[in-house]
Structure 1
Amino acid sequence: MDNFLIQITGKKRVILYNPRDAPYLYLSGTKSEILNVDNPDLEKYPLFMKVRRYECSLEAGDVLFIPALWFHNVISEEFGVGVNVFWKHLPSECYDKTDTYGNKDPTAASRAVQILDRALKTLEELPEEYRDFYARRMVLRIQEKAYSTNYE
């Protein structure tokens, strides 16, 4: 969900990444495998060099808008208190009703990932050459049908 990070006391450094950089963030679920964004292991994560990072510092009284889908890394520079205020901008039926903090994907996205996982498992029944062929066709179909060209 969209949210405001409101820094009450202390200092934080926030690094944001555009959703379009997701292929370079080495995601495992909704989290990146790269824990040290200031000194990443580029041998292990070479695509991370392609990300564009947006960075800011928050001090007491500062407010940062973090748009939905933007990945972020928050580093506490000193002890402090921050408050996040989330709000739903999609119709309420798009959200998981058990998601108190807004950390879960919209329900349609979660279902789509589950369906994709089942499809990939089904492809495992094919010999490698066939699996490769049909998997590539699936990727092309996703690119044709799901990607928006004016998404920013």
Structure 2
Amino acid sequence: EQWLVLGGKAALDRLALGKDRRCRCVAHGAGRDLLDEDATHALLAERPWAAVVLAEGLTEDASDVDVLTMALHLTRAAARDAPKAVPLVFVTFGAQPLASELDEARKSGSPKHSGLWGYARAVRMEYPGTLRVSCLDLDPSKGEALGAELARALPSHCAGDEEEVALRG
């Protein structure tokens, strides 16, 4: 079981999954254009991936429009293989608010890329039963351990039926 992890260099560096044998990390830029749907489709067709993870939602520096554009091109590349398309997982951190009495806990995180969640909902409506698109919101308190949290969560997330999961604690 291997995951294809896509995103900009900053997002992939933040995850630090390069040494995890379960992951193949491909950065946008430096010879790879993840906005090129043909090139992205070729990556998707390389092997039967357990899931394709879009990690660009972990990057504070990326604009929300750029992240959604990358998600759009990935979705269109994956849709070519519908209904046997690989599952897509859009990863964010702290995009979903935390219900807590602690003001500090409620303010942690970053809603900047929460638009990915709305986009994923729209894709599920446009491709019912043919594209599996889910969202995984990592715990913003994990800091440097986001990659480890993602690697721990992906197997059960991909095996389950939940479309939207926010990890906390």
Shorter-chain TM-score bucket reads under 0.3
Greater percentage in strand: 1
Task: Kindly indicate whether structure 1 or structure 2 has the higher relative contact order, using CA contacts under 8 Å at least 6 residues apart.
Answer: 1
Larger radius of gyration: 1
